Amino acid sequence: MTPRGWAVLTLAALVLALVVVGALLVPWSRPPAPRADQLAALRDLPADQVARGRALQAALRPGRYTGLAVGLLVALLLGLTPLGARLVELAGRPFGDHWIARAVLGGIAVVLVADLLTLPFAAWRQSVLTRYGLSTQGWGGWTVDLLKSYALSAVLAATVLLGFYTVTRLAPRWWWAFGAAGAAGLVVLLSFVLPVLVEPVFNRFTPMEQGPLRTELTALAERDGVPVRDVLVADASRRTRAVNAYVSGLGPTRRVVVYDTLLREATPAEVTSVVAHELGHARDRDVWTGTLTGALGAAAAVVALYLVGSWTPLLRRAGVDSIAEPRAFALLIALVTVVGLVAGPVQALVSRRVEARADAHALALTGDPTTFEAMQRRLAGVNLADPDPPRAEYLWFASHPSTVERMAAARAYAREAGR
């Protein structure tokens, strides 16, 4: 069998594995809370809170969609015309057209052009968040964060670009196999490394101080049978007024992180409710599931790129001979951008199902739907969320159930528990 035949077979196996993992590990069977309960919850929210959340979302909308469109357009323009190839050549010229210069500098140049052209929309978003009092960060801090993330991306991109184009040179017929294994390995590695190496670049984490709340949370984790190494507090307040908590890392790097804003804004019982939700993620191994699907997806993407990349009309459009050469990097980015846009709603749907399961876990663990609902109201109020967002936007972007869905789920739990 030819390398191409093996690639088709591998892609089929990876897609099958993704479908199996998705079918087995995603909680599909949990029906959403009845719409009537959601509408009742919406009526119970203060009208001015709902209006303020909707006003912010409306103010963010034009910039968000224009930014998305510009990002897509730039990717297509660079990838489906010879412009991208020319940009890569240009970046390699001062270094005698050496392939490493083309691969690393050319690749970074392509990404940077797209980043810079969408930068005004990021700045616009920041100005809206400041106007609504949600961001507490000045332009200086915002710029520092931006430069830090550029620097981090550049280091990561340089490593990946150098690795990838070394493999395509050494194994011109089989690079897709090594590339797929490498991409999967990178996803797993980043799951371990990001919380330890990258999160501290942007925030300071301190163990939650000793006291009744910490004792309560540790006892809760113990009761739940979830080994959590530490409960950390992040100094999110220097950037935002928004409240949040999350669980990240795998095995020895796993931790529950609570925003300092949450501790300031919410009652201890509400913080407990949020942490109970996070424990649900740990208990159901949601980070593992995310890492596994991410690894399978990344491997499948590399093989698919190899197969699509052998389509001559596409290569001719980009003015390149092969998808595996550095000059074709912009074409690669264009394909990845389109796939990412299409995969977005699927990822959002899976994420909402997983989040709903963590909510159910929090309700069962605390047995306190009243506090859970109070916390959801507070989350929506402080974060200026639209408690019941437009359907299309919800389907496309929402990683969590809406506020009214979460409130309705609490009410459904209360009804069932009272029975």
Calculate the dihedral angle through the C-alpha atoms of 218, 220, 222, 224, rounding to the nearest 10 degrees. Answer: -150
- Give the relative orientation of helices 47-79 and 369-383 as an angle to the nearest 10 degrees: 60
Asked whether 372 and 366 are in contact (CB, 8 A), the reply is yes
Q: Which is nearer to Zn ion, 159 or 399 (CB)?
A: 399
Binding mask 287-326 for Zn ion (x = CB under 5 A): ----------------------------------------
Q: Nearest distance from residue 323's CB to Zn ion, in Å?
A: 37
Closest C-alpha among 376, 410, 403 to residue 388: 403
Distance CA 31, CA 34 (A): 8
Does the protein bind Zn ion through residue 110 (CB under 5 A)?
A: no
Q: Nearest distance from residue 366's CB to Zn ion, in Å?
A: 15
Q: Which is nearer to Zn ion, 161 or 262 (CB)?
A: 262
Stretch that binds Zn ion, among 16-24, 35-43, 113-121, 349-357 (CB under 5 A): 349-357
Closest C-alpha among 382, 376, 381, 365 to residue 402: 376
Q: Nearest distance from residue 350's CB to Zn ion, in Å?
A: 13
Does the protein bind Zn ion through residue 358 (CB under 5 A)?
A: yes
Count of positions on this chain that bind Zn ion (CB under 5 A): 2
Q: Nearest distance from residue 373's CB to Zn ion, in Å?
A: 16
Phi-psi region of 225 (alpha: psi -120 to 50; beta: other; left: phi over 0): left
Q: Which is nearer to Zn ion, 199 or 355 (CB)?
A: 355
Q: Which is nearer to Zn ion, 245 or 334 (CB)?
A: 245
Q: Nearest distance from residue 289's CB to Zn ion, in Å?
A: 13
Q: Nearest distance from residue 242's CB to Zn ion, in Å?
A: 15
Stretch that binds Zn ion, among 2-10, 128-136, 219-227, 354-362 (CB under 5 A): 354-362
Distance CA 67, CA 119 (A): 9
Looking from the CA of 78 toward its CB, the CA atoms found within 13 Å total 31
Distance CA 252, CA 234 (A): 19
Q: Which of residues 181-220 bind Zn ion (CB under 5 A)?
A: none
Stretch that binds Zn ion, among 114-122, 206-214, 257-265, 347-355 (CB under 5 A): 347-355
Asked whether 406 and 359 are in contact (CB, 8 A), the reply is yes
Q: Nearest distance from residue 144's CB to Zn ion, in Å?
A: 28
Q: Which is nearer to Zn ion, 25 or 358 (CB)?
A: 358
DSSP string, 26-49: S-TT-PPPPHHHHHHHHHHS-HHH
Q: Which is nearer to Zn ion, 290 or 387 (CB)?
A: 290
Distances (CA, A) of 249 to 69, 252, 253: 33, 8, 5
Reduced to 3 DSSP states, what percent helix, strand and coil does the chain have, rounded to the nearest 5?
75, 5, 20
Distance CA 325, CA 323 (A): 6
Stretch that binds Zn ion, among 51-59, 155-163, 332-340, 350-358 (CB under 5 A): 350-358
Q: Which is nearer to Zn ion, 74 or 358 (CB)?
A: 358
Q: Which is nearer to Zn ion, 245 or 305 (CB)?
A: 245
Stretch that binds Zn ion, among 124-132, 140-148, 299-307, 357-365 (CB under 5 A): 357-365
Q: Nearest distance from residue 89's CB to Zn ion, in Å?
A: 45
* Tokens at 320, concatenated: 């390149």
Q: Which of residues 219-258 bind Zn ion (CB under 5 A)?
A: none
Q: Nearest distance from residue 246's CB to Zn ion, in Å?
A: 7
The contact set with Zn ion (CB under 5 A) reads 355, 358
